[in-house]
Structure 1
């Protein structure tokens, strides 16, 4: 199979030469590869014999078809798709489903190639409907035929099942757009579509590894990851004549859309968040290094790499000749670094560290020891790697790249400093949001359940800098009821409240409080006293209350409370290990510690790139460096 696809790629490269141009060897190859399905493809070409433009569109689809396929559906995959629909409006999925299906892998399922099963009826309907919407929309006159073939015409977005989706989507969404917009601004139309798709809410779930879910699933089931978000928007846009494609980073942890504007620019679009405007280049806080677009057609330059003399030495990701490097639309800086020992003509990879490993985001060829990457994201920590069959091997020290300048992080083991570490993973916007909810709240004590006679034990005047907060009271107090009272501007969003007297836990008999935000199992009042930092209680309205009933008046001298958090703070009792990166020597351990408080203390080499591992639990870890005694994470969270 690989040899067949390689031959196809070779023919495609050769067809870029004038000698082969008119003979279209890719089209002939597709016809032969279709085998018994060849007659269906011939029927399509015959159908459009008198329509030159639609004939060219049909040829475009057919000659690029051999490499497109989907995985056999049914059984386990259908079960997991069904389980996704149990994700609630807070993106919660019962852990029992994750435990059962979380390790499922689809990659060994049989592949079904489009060219061998696709029907003439399917292709003709797809082509006719795509042309209809192209000519119907006023912005269509700004879209070239070349761009039409990639942004509107394709019948698939990835490896989803082959489905008759375009007519259904057009019948569903075209009347909706027509009823609210008759203008000619494609971006305004796309923003209106964005608003239409807000209901029902798309529920985000990343618990399973699945191929593209497919248009027929997504129109009825708004569940999946960010790629599935983008797929849904692509289907809708293409069905109503809005030119749309998808882009991603090398981790594939994030995928977003681009809309082809009437100015010719590609405008990033993420339908679940902000409104897009002309000239917009935002993709949120996602750090990518370089950015790639998923194309339907073979990209000749990528194919040349694939059939190059040293193609066996190329990392498999870069052999995908259907990805196009579009970093130039986002990043303008050129990275150039000397690596004298690297031989001319060898592949060198630009990598960043995330989630316990180095991720290659770009490849180039060494030129007499000078390594150059064009259009690279600034303010990122990178390292250079080479690829061997055993995997990547680091060949440089980490370096911070910012607007053309490079700062190399070569650890100075002769000079060191004492640091305090509070996290193993950078804050996300939502984790900071939770920390802010405690500002203005107070803890109160009373021997009356209505708190008519009460004492304010402690008032929280600042945002919490960490999830775990310990309050030592000025003097011991003796009460039956302890109440957490949120401010009138904030909701209760807590993972836990623990009470102590001289270090001994004081356990409440009952807990009561205000209305919860949802009825999901993970968010209930009992979560506040279950000693699990990943369960929590979220109130429905600001100014709520939670009361702990101790059964009778008891003495306490300490209150510990936990904000709703991502569990990436230092957790007392867990085993941690800190590493620094020593370039070609890899990661060097600075020792293990069992945390006995909310931070770890280490002596670290100056100018070191560091990585803190938790050997007890969790998987979210990112590397960082120390600046002004603070942890600086150069890679933001992927969500």
Structure 2
């Protein structure tokens, strides 16, 4: 065949391919044409893919190719060209893994110091335009064809994928990228690596396969807070090399592994929890019966705990661009980070939702309003809504949260309502302080105790507090065994008139320790007052504890440090008083969030009054609670520890109790 004849045949194939574009996965021919126009010198690569499947007569794969190319316009890789010095951190992490599975975790502080040093020299890593490589300009036909063929192969051949329809296949199995990672041929490689394990374990369902992979990865890989500020997404090979990352990195990797095996997998996220300025991402698999099953990536088990979080909005990432009902003429009235072009609202799959229609004054000339939750003293944007006929309209808003409505203009927010609470029935309750009716308020925390933290605090249950007069505690007696989860600092009186030189906390089999502070008290010379006893810190004689700071943590008067059981040896930590002492009481505190009231600290109470937070006064705590008298009822309050801490949460007060909002 001559070159001229080949070119003519190729052209006719492309015309035929383009004529079939209207049957794609919700991707329009205008989207494809737009991508092709942008692709420049790379256009031939994209057209080759379409011609290839047209020539084979495979209309489903042609539709799939059109879906990918038609939605390629905003897809790009971020390659670290602007912040290359930070690559040495990744290489250092890689080298530390050679020292064992716990090496990176044991060197977290060292790595953070290296990161901080680089940030001081070069500034924190920030994305630059030169880091971007748009897919339509760089992606190759061979890569796309191999990826599409593999995706179809697992979709058609695996029993767990046979019930997946074409639209869901396009979104949750087919995509060649998840975020802004560099393009690499990952799908067939991951499939070949994991398939032998599945066969060996005889795993034959979406749930079993996903749990096995997530459990395995939770042992091999870890989360690292330091990398929250690293702006580049890892490829699968880079994540396997580094084996640590932020939540997004682990979610992306898990998504790619599961999709390579034909398991339909999505990425769900909340940009910001209600009551927080932080968000989260997690995975969702679709079971054979079509039911969605969410879970945290690289956590043992296949679940996710929402009990300690409040949800305003949840979205599901999509490869296809979503149609938003926004008049672009007034787009400036909506903050850019609230416009989710590649995500769909799935809030109602997680919590009960309500539509909100509230009258708003003085909104002439405005077309959109912003609904916000809060974080401490700040209000955090959550969603946008239409303004019509003097009302702001919001859809699918998570209930059980405190909100307020704003107008966004010239990059500034203007409040248009007082704070209001939406209950589980969708009823709206506004708060206006009643200064005529007063109340006494006894406050025990500045931030609620979450189920997550309460579970951590429970890890000290079963620990034994003991005394003895031999260094190996062969003659030990148990003063008490911790039987309940303490909510703050706990004091236990000891009614034993014998004297003991040695004391310790002993951790039972399966226990972790998790003790933040442990204090022993004896009698003063006047035999009436108690005094805190001090001594040499000791542990199992078989362990050299010199230089191991975690042995000092229960005795350092710092509630933010805590003792965990050591590797090897008997799990205990204690004191040698030098001579026998009578023990009259023990004070202890588990690892915690330290958001309870601490004796000696000063607290300030604030009230929301019309348009701002106003101080109601300060109190120094002389007990594990503070009392404020003659406070207005029906208010919203925030309690702040003026000595330490950053977490505060809005609450109301009724019936003698703080009600967290």
TM-score by length of 2: 0.80
Q: 2:17 aligns to what?
A: none
2:253 pairs with 227, 232, 240, which one?
A: 232
Q: CA–CA distance in 1 between the matches of 2:149 and 2:459?
A: 54
Cα gap change, 1:352/1:520 in structure 2, threshold over 3 Å: closer, same or farther? farther
Aligned partner (choices 578, 589, 596) of residue 569 of structure 1: 596
Return the alpha-carbon distance in structure 1 between the equivalents of residues 184 and 496 of structure 2.
Answer: 70
Secondary structure of 1:310's match? helix
Conserved in 1, the CA contact under 8 Å of 2:268 and 2:284? Answer: yes
In structure 2, do the counterparts of structure 1 residues 475 and 270 end up closer, same or farther at CA, with 3 Å as the change threshold?
closer
> Displacement of 1:157 after TM fit?
0.9
Most deviating of 97-106 and 51-60: 97-106
Of 68, 72, 78, 2:87 maps to 78
> What is the CA distance between 1:373 and its match in structure 2?
3.0
More helix by share: 2
Q: Secondary structure at the match of 2:254?
A: helix
Counterpart Cα distance in 2 of 1:488 and 1:290: 42
Distance 1:489-1:166 versus aligned 2 partners, 3 A rule? closer
Where 1:53 maps in the other structure, the secondary structure is: helix
Match of 1:40 in 2: 45
**1:52–1:475: structure 2 CA closer, same or farther, 3 Å change rule?**
closer
Residues 391/66 of structure 1: CA separation in 2 closer, same or farther (3 Å cut): same
Alignment of 1:284-433 (within 5 A): 285-301=308-324, 304-305=325-326, 308-341=328-361, 343=363, 346-354=367-375, 357-401=378-422, 402-433=424-455
Match of 1:62 among 62, 69, 89: 69
Q: After superposing the two structures, state which structure 1 stretch, 257-266 or 497-506, moved more.
A: 497-506
Deviation at 1:555, TM superposition (A): 6.8
Q: What displacement does 1:108 show?
A: 4.0
Query: Is the contact between residue 181 and residue 189 of structure 1 (CA under 8 Å) also seen in structure 2?
Result: no
Match of 1:128, SS state, is helix
d(CA) in 1 for partners of 2:650 and 2:105? 27
Structure 2 CA distance for aligned equivalents of residues 418 and 96 of structure 1 = 49
Q: CA deviation at 1:70?
A: 2.8
Corresponding residue number in structure 2 for 1:171: 192
1:566 CA displacement: 2.7
**What are the within-5 Å matches in structure 2 for residues 68-217 of structure 1?**
68-73=75-80, 75-82=84-91, 94-101=108-115, 104-108=124-128, 110-181=131-202, 183=204, 185-203=205-223, 205=225, 208-211=228-231, 212-217=233-238
Indicate the SS of the match to 2:220. Answer: coil
Residues 501-516 of structure 1 aligned to structure 2 (within 5 Å): 501=524, 505-513=532-540
Offset at residue 268 of structure 1 (A): 2.4
How far does residue 17 in structure 1 lie from its aligned partner after superposition? Answer: 12
TM-score (norm 1): 0.82
- Contact 2:27/2:320 (CA < 8 Å) preserved in 1? no
Q: CA deviation at 1:356?
A: 5.1
Task: Give the drift of 1:60.
Answer: 1.8
2:609 aligned with 1:600, yes or no? Answer: no
Deviation at 1:543, TM superposition (A): 9.6
Q: Tell me if the contact between 1:499 and 1:556 (Cα under 8 Å) persists in the aligned partners.
A: yes
Matched, 1:629 2:656: yes
**CA deviation map 1:588-634 (0-9, x unaligned):** 23344555554333344322222233454443333333344333434
1:262-281 equivalence runs, <5 A: 262-272=288-298
1:4 — aligned with what? Answer: none
Q: 1:46 & 1:509 partners in 2: Cα distance?
A: 79
Match of 2:554 among 511, 522, 528: 528
2:262 equivalent in structure 1 = 241
Q: Does 1:552 align with 2:555?
A: no
- Cα offset, 1:313, TM superposition: 0.9
Q: Is the 1:438–1:464 contact (alpha carbons within 8 Å) kept by the matching residues of 2?
A: no
Deviation for aligned residue 1:557: 5.6
> 2: CA distance between counterparts of 1:490 and 1:255?
30
* Cα separation, partners in 2 of 1:196 and 1:462, compared to 1, 3 Å: closer
Equivalents in 2 of 1:346, 1:522: separation in Å? 61
Shift of 1:22: 10
Distance 1:190 1:174 in 2: 12
Higher relative contact order (CA 8 A, sep 6+): 1
C-alpha displacement of 1:524? 2.4
Q: Which residue in 1 is equivalent to 2:11?
A: none
600 and 164 in structure 1: CA distance in 2 versus 1, 3 angstrom threshold: farther
Shift of 1:450: 5.0
Structure of higher CA gyration radius: 2
Contact 2:214 2:300 in 1 (8 A): no
- For residue 95 of structure 1, report the CA deviation from its aligned partner: 3.1
Counterpart Cα distance in 1 of 2:338 and 2:392? 17
Contact 1:514–1:544 (Cα < 8 Å) also in 2: no
